[in-house]
Each structure stands twice: as structure tokens, then as C-alpha cells.
Structure 1
Amino acid sequence: MPGLLDWILGRLRPPHHKSRATGEGNFQSCIFCGAYSTSRSEFDIIWEDEEFVAFRDISPSAQHHIQLIPKIHIESVKELSKKDVKMLRRMEEIGHSILDTFNAPVSRRKMGFHIPPFYSVLHLHLHVQVLPYKSLVRRLKYPFVRGFGGYEKGLSWFVEIGQAIRILDKGECVTIAPC
């Protein structure tokens, strides 16, 4: 049990973890990597540039639900560090630009990441959403938990992008535990 707790708190990597820094691993089996390589026709791509691609979620939880991914395989938000803050800021900017096309008021926008092990695809993906959610169950998948004391976020399996940027900018890691 201590190993699982260490992994959830971000002190250990899951056994299948592959680092983008070392280039270890074969990511041909990653379904989201297909959005910018082999399986493009399977995605409803709505925006793209040299570094990122955005597509509609296949099972949307909200009125509008887009996935924004980098065109390099990064497994999750737990793999990010301070050097990735610039990338996250760019993702946030792109997310707002996409939401502008839906004329979504700022008060109905939500963007963030699920934190492992509470995610289904092993590729970093920013949920870009226009609320309301389609159901209470769907809403519960994306909890916003404010931080307390010196923490940016509380105990939660979801981190909003602004929280993630502030956590990483302090040189800390994003975990389920308060950080």
C-alpha cells in the first residue's frame, strides 16, 4: 500500500511510465498520438498548429468539450515541471481562443487536466469546456478544489490549468494531494 500512496502523491512514477526526455518507449499505441499522425480521420479536429491539435471529445461531458493535446507524447500532467510552464500558458491561450469561437462567457469556461491515476488516455490532454455539464455525474469528474494555506489546489483528481501553471512555476509537481 505505501507504493500506491507514493505514486498517487507523485513521489513515484507508474510502472508503465516512459519519459519524453529519454525517448524511451513506443507510443504508436497511444490513441491521441494518432490525432496528429496515423489516425487523423478518426478525430473531429477543430484547430491545429505545428505544436498542438484540438479535437471534439468523443463523449462530451459539457455543452462544448474539446481536447487540446501537444504533438509530442507527454504522458500526463504529473510528468510536467517548471520548464513546461510556457507550454501550458500557450495551451491556455489556445483554449481561450477556441472558446471565443463559441462565444462562451468567461464564467462558463473550464479548462484543466485529470491527474493520474484518474485519467483514461495516457497522453497529456487539456479539457477545454463550456458549461453546463450534461449531468451531475459528468460534473463530478471535473472538481475544482481551491487551495488553502500555501497550497494552490486541495485534494482532487482534477487541476485547472491556472492552478497547474502556478504549481509548476513554484517548482513543485502536480499531484492528487494538496499542492
Structure 2
Amino acid sequence: MADIQTKPGCPFCSATAEKGFNIVWEDEEYTAFKDRSPASAQHILLIPKTHIDSIKSLHQTDVARAEKMAEIGHSILDKLEVSQDKRRMGFVIPPFNTVNHLHLHVQELPYTSWLKSLMYRVAPGTGGNDKDFSWFVEVEQAVKILKKGQDVSVFAC
């Protein structure tokens, strides 16, 4: 079993069915559960069992982790029969996230309201950047940024 490190008081470090989480997928290193306040028909959060504060905590050495999370997210959406063109997966960037534990939003589009869609707005990169100013980064954008040795932030990167 993986060496799991948790943070006292972190609600996601104790994400279990016994604690009221609707678990949809789990292995030794990751857990996926339904979002308690979904922005779309299918809205799942995928977390590492080891506590990591956020996407801002990841670096070039964490590319494989981000890629693995994307792979798991796609597998979950495959099982839910969500078509490729209706998928959105990404991370909310602090200080705009609600829980300080790395979590990948695995979603089926469309969003339930235009207001919820604002939270997950994708800002494609321009001028050599992989993303522009936004508080959400798609998982593929995050992987590209990390591979270049850059940190993911709200600002263009």
C-alpha cells in the first residue's frame, strides 16, 4: 500500500463513505467522489489520498501525478458514457478553491447555470503561454505548464 500522508482537519484527507462521501471510484492512491454542490449532471472530484495542498504545490517532478489523475478522470467519464466533446477536467487555482487539498474536477458539460460555468472558464494561452489569466486550469494545460518547469498560477503561464 502507498505511504499515505494526511493533514489534520482537512476534510478530503478523510474522504470515505462512512464520512458521508459518495465514493464512485477508489484505489490505493486516489479516491473519486461526487461533488456535494455539482455544477453539471456529472461532477466528480478526484483526489490523491496523500495530502497535497493544491495545483500550485505541483512542480515538474509531479507531471506523472497530473497525467495519472487525467487518465483516471477519463476512465470514470468513459464508464459514465460521457462523450469526449462533453468533458471538462481541471483544477481550480488558489485562492479561488474551496478546499485546500488537490482535487481534479471531472465534469460532463453543460453546466447547470451560466453562473457555475464562470467558475470553470477555460482561458487558452496566447503569446507562448499555455493558459491566460483564469482561476481554472484544464488538466492538459497543467501538464504542459509543469513539463516546462513552470508553476501553475492564476496569471498567464
TM range (shorter): over 0.9
1:112–1:127 CA contact under 8 A, matched in 2: yes
Query: Are 1:29 and 2:9 matched, yes or no?
Result: yes
1:146–1:154 CA contact under 8 A, matched in 2: yes
Listed as ranges, the matches of 1:38-117 within 5 Å are 40-117=18-95
Equivalent of 1:158 in 130, 133, 136: 136
Scaled by the length of structure 1, what TM-score is found?
0.83
Query: Are 1:145 and 2:123 matched, yes or no?
Result: yes
Question: Alignment identity in percent?
Answer: 50
Distance 1:115 1:40 in 2: 29
Deviation at 1:98, TM superposition (A): 0.2
Alignment-mate amino acid for residue 40 of structure 2: A
Unmatched tracts of structure 2, length 5 or more: none
Scaled by the length of structure 2, what TM-score is found?
0.94
> What is the root-mean-square deviation of aligned Cα atoms in Å?
1.3
Query: Are 1:122 and 2:72 matched, yes or no?
Result: no
Distance 1:116 1:40 in 2: 28
Distance 2:53 2:19 in 1: 23
Distance 1:126 1:157 in 2: 13
Distance 1:59 1:117 in 2: 19
Distance 1:124 1:40 in 2: 21
Q: Which structure 1 residue ranges, 4+ long, deviate > 4 Å from structure 2?
A: none
- For residues 39-62 of structure 1, give each alpha carbon's deviation from its aligned partner in whole angstroms, at most 9, with x where no partner exists: 744100010001100000001001
Structure ID, larger Rg: 1
Unmatched tracts of structure 1, length 5 or more: 1-22
Distance 2:109 2:100 in 1: 25
Deviation at 1:147, TM superposition (A): 0.2
1:104–1:130 CA contact under 8 A, matched in 2: yes
